[in-house]
Amino acid sequence: MEINIGIIAIIVLAIAILAILASGYVKASPNKAYIISGIKREPKVLIGRAGIKIPFLEKKDELILKQISIDIKTNGYIPTKDFIGVDIDAVAKVRVLTQRDVTVNAKGEVVAGADANKRITTEMANAAMKNFLNMNEDQIRDALTDSLQGNMREIIGTQCLKELCNDRKTFGDEVQAKAQKDMNALGIWIESCNIQKIEDENNLITALGQDNMSQIQKDASVAKAQADRDVAIARAQAQKDANDAQVIAETEIAQKQTELAIKKAELKKESDIKKAEADAAYKIQEEEQRKTVEITTANANLARQEKELELKEREVSIKEKALEAEVKKTAEANKYAAQQKADAEQYERQKRAEAELFEIQRQAEAEKAKSEAERFAKEQAAEAVKAAGLAEAAAVAAKGKAEAEAIQAKAEAEAAGILKKAEAMKQYGDAARQQMELDTLKVYFEQLPKIAEAVAKGYMNVDSIKMFGGDSSKLAGDIMTTVTQVTDGIKESTGLDINEMLAKGFAKETKSEETGSTANADYHEVKPE
């Protein structure tokens, strides 16, 4: 039981120690320093690293290490060395020193590791911890502003206005150097001091600018005058050099021209000799060319005249066609006008005739209705007479046709004999054939009146024939059909076409008359001398 109590006590003690250590663990940022003091004589400084603070025995304080900007203003016009009041604004960059900034070399000298101009001692670092421990940025800024402003006012009184305006960097460096002495006692390092603005109460800076502007303009005018002078001198020298070069060039040109004239004279002499030799040949050649030109000119003139004649003929043809077209156009216009007039007159006559026709038709309709009854009665009576006449005419026609057929048979027999005669005469050629055709025509014309008489004789015994019904031409057609059958029978039995032979005969007769007329036209009497 006692062993268990001892173990528990040890565990509790260990846990307590661990809790104490955990509560004392601290870690500082790179821009902040933790100063742990209490047990040791020299405080422990933690910057960017961790450490242990023993609770109840040690204390932790903070110190800001980052760079701080401080506005430095004169807050009024401060007189310069030349008694001109100026108002200046500047900005200083400062930071707090620590033991980390202290570096000791091999000789035991305390120097800055990165900048040999910095002489940072342990006392300066300790002063910073004493003066600015646990202060924020604004508190540090307020604590340093008065000291920096006072140092800047002191430096303003040692410089003139022109020096302040012309060399602001030097003025800023002097302010930084003067103020650094006071800042060393506080443990502050001034990184930089820059002048932002300089103003004077009487606008003398503007006046200085105008004066400088006038001086600059004056210097520019002087420089321009000097430049013009240099240009004039250079121009005169260049003109002199140009004149010298021109004289030399003209001298060389004269020499070259003399040499050229001599050379031309020599060449002209040779040229005259060559020209004299060439003149004779040239004249001969010129004469030949003249003849050629004359011939060519004559040919060209002839061609030109032919072309002009052709053009004139074309112009005449064009004018004739234009005139013909104009006349044709005028005639067509007159024809169209006359046709329009005739059409109008015809239309008027047609309308008038239509009106008259309508009147006549209207009257005829009335008469037609009246005569229809009379005509119907007459037609009934005529039908009986027509039947008797047609019977009598048919008997007469049959008799005449029989006589005509007998005569036709006789004619065909004679024509057949002639044909046999023609076959026997084939060996005599075209003359025999022509003789046969003439014999056939002779027989045909001898028998034709008898055939016609025989056909018509049957109708001579009839006193009169009355035809009704519009068929009066049939009788004459029957007579002509009988005559035509004769020529057709001859053609079928002998092969001779009476109509064709008659046509050939008339054609030969017409040609003979035309030939006789032509011969008479070409005839002329030649009288012996």
User: Is the per-residue pLDDT at 385 higher than 90?
Assistant: no
User: Is the per-residue pLDDT at 297 higher than 70?
Assistant: yes
User: Is the per-residue pLDDT at 163 higher than 60?
Assistant: yes
| Predicted local confidence at residue 94, as pLDDT | 94
Cα–Cα dist 159/154, whole Å: 10
| Predicted local confidence at residue 53, as pLDDT | 84
Q: What is the DSSP code (8-state) at residue 83?
A: S
Give strand ranges (E) for 375-521.
none
High-pLDDT (> 70) share of the chain, %: 66
At 423-478, the pLDDT tens digits run 655 554 555 566 666 777 677 677 767 666 666 665 565 555 555 544 555 556 66
Cα–Cα dist 499/495, whole Å: 12
How many residues are recorded in the chain? Answer: 529
Give strand ranges (E) for 271-355.
none
Please provide the distance, in angstroms rounded to a whole number, between the alpha carbons at the two ends of the chain: 205
Question: What average pLDDT does range 49-63 have in this prediction?
Answer: 84
The first and second tokens of residue 91, run together, are 């900005």
More confident residue, 444 or 58: 58
Q: Tell me, what amino acid is at 515?
A: T
Q: What is the DSSP string of 210-262?
A: HHHHHHHHHHHHHHHHHHHHHHHHHHHHHHHHHHHHHHHHHHHHHHHHHHHHH
The first and second tokens of residue 457, run together, are 């004789």
| Predicted local confidence at residue 139, as pLDDT | 93
Question: What average pLDDT does range 134-154 have in this prediction?
Answer: 92
Contact 37, 43 (CB under 8 A): yes
Q: Which residue has the tokens 């091999």?
A: 106
Give residue 522's pLDDT band: very low, low, confident or very high (50, 70, 90): very low
Instruction: Please name which of 394, 406, 436, 396 lies closest in space to residue 418, comparing C-alpha atoms.
Output: 436
Burial annotation 258-274 (CB, 10 A radius, 16+ → b, else e): eeeeeeeeeeeeeeeee
Question: What average pLDDT does range 72-98 have in this prediction?
Answer: 90
Strands 85-96 and 188-200: antiparallel
The first and second tokens of residue 397, run together, are 């026609």
Give residue 54's pLDDT band: very low, low, confident or very high (50, 70, 90): confident
| Predicted local confidence at residue 373, as pLDDT | 66
Instruction: Please name which of 143, 164, 176 lies closest in space to residue 78, comparing C-alpha atoms.
Output: 164
Give strand ranges (E) for 82-174.
85-96, 103-104, 110-111
Q: Which pTM does this prediction carry?
A: 0.38
List, in order of start, the domains of the chain with CATH numbers: 21-62 (no CATH), 67-202 (3.30.479.30), 395-514 (1.10.132)
The mean pLDDT of the chain is 76
Give residue 104's pLDDT band: very low, low, confident or very high (50, 70, 90): very low
Question: What average pLDDT does range 97-102 have in this prediction?
Answer: 67
Select, from the ranges 69-78, 125-134, 397-406, the one with the highest average predicted confidence (pLDDT).
69-78
Cα–Cα dist 512/506, whole Å: 10
3-class secondary structure, 496: coil
| Predicted local confidence at residue 283, as pLDDT | 82
Give residue 202's pLDDT band: very low, low, confident or very high (50, 70, 90): confident
| Predicted local confidence at residue 365, as pLDDT | 78
3-class secondary structure, 332: helix
Judge residue 141's burial from the number of C-beta atoms within 10 Å of its C-beta, 0-12 exposed, 13-18 middle, 19 or more buried: middle
Q: CA torsion, points 101, 106, 109, 114, in degrees to nearest 10?
A: -40
Q: Tell me, what amino acid is at 505?
A: G
High-pLDDT (> 90) share of the chain, %: 14
3-class secondary structure, 193: strand
Give residue 332's pLDDT band: very low, low, confident or very high (50, 70, 90): confident
| Predicted local confidence at residue 68, as pLDDT | 93
